Amino acid sequence: MNKNDLKAEYDDYYKKNPEKWTSESRDAFTYQALSNFLGAPPKTLIDVGCGNGHTIAHLMERWPETKFTGLDLSAEAIRLARIKAPGATFVRGFLDEVYGLHQYEVVLLLGVAEHFQDISGNLARVRGLIAPGGVGYIEVPNCIAHPKSEKVEGFRRLNHGSRQTEWHLYRPTWEQHIKNAWLEIIGSLDGPHSPHEFIWFVR
């Protein structure tokens, strides 16, 4: 699928459901995991694939001094995010077409990397966003564990649920992609549910 079709697809998701993929429990888990790891609020954070801004809004309430940036391919998601998290900076686009982004103390990818057709290439772009001494937080679903999933690794469109196109990979395969992007895994977690199960801290 080309970029314009992807943008239209995700605009449609958010027009039909402005709260698409919003999860307070997931945001709370992310906040707690980052707080435990960092020990103090970060000065800057970018949420790559920020959607409607729900995670940034959650974190802004707890880290009011942090400067937040959100990046998403969907114009509709960005419109909603600006309402949900006023005071943050939001940018529309794909990682490979957005220039002028800074480096950040924290780079979030929540349920995003599984949609990268070129996983290692895009994770390498993410690496470029991490400031010296900073950290990336990558969370992807354990798609292959879904009862309706084929137990074969691959990139395919779901035949249920949101019907997105995504990678179904085991954890070791994900970790090899992370290493292929010259990212160092400095910590890992198991999320509370299979849709948010595989989590890594990287730099």
Read off the pLDDT of each residue in 141-162 and give the average, rounded to a whole number: 79
- Summarize the confidence of residues 14-35 as an average pLDDT: 97
Decide if pLDDT at 82 tops 70: yes
Mean pLDDT of the chain: 94
In this prediction, residues 123-137 reach a mean pLDDT of: 96
Please, which pLDDT band fits residue 97 given cuts at 50, 70 and 90?
A: confident
Lowest mean pLDDT across 31-40, 50-59, 60-69, 99-108: 99-108
The two structure tokens encoding residue 54? 């729900």
Domain parsing of the chain, residue ranges = 3-202
pLDDT at 159 over 90: no
Interval 81-94 mean pLDDT: 97
CATH for the stretch 3-202? 3.40.50.150
Average pLDDT over residues 182-201: 95
pTM of the model: 0.95
